[in-house]
Chain A
Amino acid sequence: MLKTAGVVLWKDLRIELRTKDAVSAALVFSILVLVIFNFALDVNTPEMRRLAAGFFWVAFAFAGTLSLNRSFALEKESGAGRALALAPVDPAGIYAGKCLANGLFLFATQVIALPLFVVFFDVTIVRAWALVVSFVLGSIAFAATGTLFSAIAANTRMRELLLPLLFLPVSVPALIAAVETTSFALGNSESASFWFTLLLVYDVVFVTASLLVFEYVLEE
């Protein structure tokens, strides 16, 4: 499974390095949302600073769907996904490779968007380690569910609409936990161990479940 995951990851990274479609689309969208929040709301108040983590993750959640939509759309182009599905490999390996690639793209988007977020919302990163852990676990959570639903939505005509409809409601627990852990990193709370645990459990449950069911998704 790991070998297959590595090959699929290599392929997705090569395509992304050439096209920059996934990261650039998500990045531009998330920056636009942050700019709009910045102009629409008076963000330079203590109350708004406490809510800043929420704004960041809302922008990221919507931007992430753009990137995730692209993930299996490129498998549909020219039927390459059919050749992939026929290969003598464990489907879980294909899922793992796509999930890793999506996780990396989402994490890269967050890291690039972070300086703008800090400037626009005038926030201070009090616990850098917590921010890194929050971003990593949050990216895995979004990639785990997003990759699975992106594969399901890719076979439908309304995939751009279907993916957020399927993916965002399921991601709500992860989104809440990610907001709380990021808020902790920004110094808005004293403890977030429950939310870190929740995010970790969410990642383990959804990655495991997706690895088990991906074979059936691929068959369809």
Chain B
Amino acid sequence: MSSSAPALACERLTKRYGRVAALRSVDVTVGAGECVAVFGRNGAGKTTLLQVAGSLIRSFEGEVRVFGVNRRDAGTETRRAVGIVLHETCLYDDLSALDNLRFFARLYRVADHEARARESLARFDLADRASTVVRALSRGMKQRLAIARALVHRPRLLLMDEPFTGLDEPASQSLVATLRAFVGEGGAIVMSTHDVERAFEAATRAIILDRGSVTLDRSVVDIDVKAFRHAYWHVLFTGASSC
């Protein structure tokens, strides 16, 4: 695993479900210190892109490399470098919040797993819910815990599918601060979202996927948020990119 290689490099990535192509020859490279927000209407291929990058989908065409390692050959070191937040919380409903984090920290061989689990709970404002079973938490709390789970082993690449779903305003602001700090420490993030304003607070780059193809890939510095929102809404409602 090379530390100088891009965190994620997709070349001519194509994924088909039967006759339907979810991704069509996608080329995306994400380096350390970058936070890429992926936009697109439902079914555009955002989740598929994250699932291929996260090894949840293993049959695809093209090349996907994580820190220089081919995703198909990804060993334990590459897996350890990746954290993933999916639509599902990926938590055990019958375990407490703390036990969930303890379990995943121990699974990832985090040296100080107990301290790290408690620190993660505190970071996401869940310290007072440590012994509450996940089943009894609200949607927003579960989402915060899911993000804490993805970060508990200190990954270098974070893949997030709609991370702001279910979060209230303070929690969203807190997540933006966490993502900025993560990127500031040299981490890389790829997140799918529909929340333009919130994503632009954290992202360094924006990508629009339309019917499996990248129609825009630009640094957020070069983008006027208002114009982008307008163009994105155009994509959402007409399916055609005018960016």
Contacts and interface: CB of A to CB of B under 8 A. Distances in A.
Interface of A: 3-4, 7, 10-11, 14-15, 18-19, 74, 77-80, 82-84, 86-89, 219
A219 B134 CA distance: 26
Contacts of B82: 86
B76 A89 contact: yes
Contacts, number: 71
B94 A74 contact: yes
A71 to B, nearest CB: 13
Dominant SS at the A interface? helix
Interface stretch (B27-35, B104-112, B205-213, B220-228): B104-112
B20 interface: no
A9 B187 CA distance: 32
A139 B243 CA distance: 63
B86 A88 contact: no
Interface of B: 54-56, 58, 75-80, 82, 84, 86-95, 99, 103-104, 106-109, 133-134, 149
A24 B196 CA distance: 49
A82 B86 contact: yes
Which of B93, B94, B95, B104 gathers the greatest number of chain A CB atoms within 10 Å? B94
B30 to A, nearest CB: 18
A19 B104 contact: no
A11 B103 contact: yes
Contacts of B106: 7, 10
Contact of A89 (B77, B91, B107): B107
A7 to B, nearest CB: 5
A77 to B, nearest CB: 6
Contact of B89 (A4, A78, A84, A86): A78
Contacts of A87: 79, 104, 107-108
16 contacts: A10-B103, A10-B106, A11-B95, A14-B95, A18-B95, A19-B94, A78-B90, A78-B92, A79-B88, A80-B90, A80-B92, A82-B56, A82-B86, A83-B149, A88-B77, A89-B107
Closest A-B pairs by Cβ, 6 of them:
A79-B88, A88-B76, A83-B90, A88-B79, A88-B80, A87-B107
Contact of A79 (B54, B76, B90, B95): B90
Contacts of A77: 92-93
Given A18-B94, A87-B104, A89-B107, A82 B88 contact: yes
Contacts of A4: 107
Given A14-B95, A18-B133, A74-B94, A84 B88 contact: no
